[in-house]
Amino acid sequence: MKIDNNDTLLFIGDSITDAGRDRMDGKSLGQGFPLLIASYLQTHFPEKRLTILNRGVGGDRLSDVKSRWEEDCLIINPDIVTLLIGINDTWSNVDADKKVTDSELVEFESNYRFLLKSLHQRTDARVVLMEPYVLPFPKDRVDWRADLDPRIQIVRKMARDYQTELIPLDGLMNAEGIRNGFSYYTGDDGVHPTVAGHGLIAQSWIENVVKKRTY
């Protein structure tokens, strides 16, 4: 994936991407991994004059991203889109004490495919997909896997079907959590990144998208 001069990079998803951005300011990057990635890119490639945008919205499920896809993605006509979404679909089921159904997974795949198909049809954007993830701290997060794992498989399928970059965040975050402690990366809820967690996500993006390429 080549990053060209004057490219617009768009990060879109839920609260993990949002990271406290000022939604009244279209240029606000929040305090999370999009800011860290922007800092790296703008420091190492000042000649490219990149535009970097954050359109994460806390609490969003995939259907919410779909409903704002036109305004927050397609109209922008970005050159590179990074999408991280899905954990709130699982979280809402857990809160409702509801088990994921086959029909719900079919709808999840259909909505995800809509995003990528419309992006392919209306833009020339290169795409980076990130797996949703959960870490097993608190311990009850282990029970989330039955709902989240099939969603991760759908994200992987979309990456294959549309030949996108795929960053396997679930495996990466859990591997580092095993090594250094789960709460070190996601605090007390297994989902929202700490500074170290955002750093790990940013590092994974940079290693997969930038450092494996020659510009």
Q: What is the pLDDT of residues 60-116, one digit of tens each?
A: 999 999 999 999 999 999 999 999 999 999 999 999 999 999 999 999 999 999 999
Measured on CA atoms in the order 156, 126, 199, 208, is the torsion positive or negative?
positive
CA dihedral 89, 92, 94, 98 (to 10 degrees): -90
- Reply yes or no on whether the pLDDT at 212 is more than 80: no
Residue 193: pLDDT band with limits 50, 70, 90 = very high
Query: pTM (2 decimals)?
Result: 0.97
pLDDT at 214: 46
The residues spanned by each domain of the chain are: 8-210
SS3 127: strand
Q: Which CATH topology does 8-210 take?
A: Rossmann fold (3.40.50)
Q: Which residues contact 195 (CB under 8 A, 6 or more apart)?
A: none
Measured on CA atoms in the order 32, 192, 131, 203, is the torsion positive or negative?
positive
Return the axis-axis angle of helices 145-162 and 87-95, rounded to nearest 10°: 160
Task: Report which DSSP code applies to 82.
Answer: E
